[in-house]
């Protein structure tokens, strides 16, 4: 490998590294502004559970009384 090729590869590596650092900083900034929010899957699962309990007529029941031993709820992943 010539010295020119080595220099070019080194510059490309530095550029890629700088891009990745900038993306990581941007991602950290976005997360700090948004705060901690549950993932969309968790929110959707909770909404579906609430709707199911409304359909079952158990909207006023406490959360521990809503679960039925014969009902298997899907786990939010």
Token pair belonging to 60? 């006023």
Q: How many Cα atoms occupy the beta-carbon half-sphere of 55 within 13 Å? A: 6
Residue 45 pLDDT: 95
**What is the rounded distance in angstroms from the CA atom of residue 65 to the CA atom of residue 59?**
10
**What is the rounded distance in angstroms from the CA atom of residue 70 to the CA atom of residue 74?**
13
Residues 24 and 55 in one domain: no
Residue 73 pLDDT: 62
Residues 30 and 16 in one domain: yes
Residues 42 and 28 in one domain: no
Q: What is the pLDDT along the chain (77 residues), one digit of tens a residue?
A: 799 999 999 999 999 999 999 999 999 998 888 777 788 899 999 999 999 998 887 655 555 555 555 556 666 66
Domain with 63, as residue range(s), is 38-77
Number of H helices, E strands in the chain: 3, 0
């Amino acid at each position: 490998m010539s010295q020119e090729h080595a220099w070019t590869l080194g510059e490309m590596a530095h550029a890629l590294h700088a891009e990745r650092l900038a993306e990581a900083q941007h991602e950290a900034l976005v997360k700090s502004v948004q705060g901690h929010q549950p993932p969309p899957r968790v929110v959707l699962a909770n909404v579906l559970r609430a709707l199911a309990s409304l359909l079952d007529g158990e909207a006023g029941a406490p959360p521990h009384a809503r679960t039925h031993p014969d009902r298997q709820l899907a786990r939010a992943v």
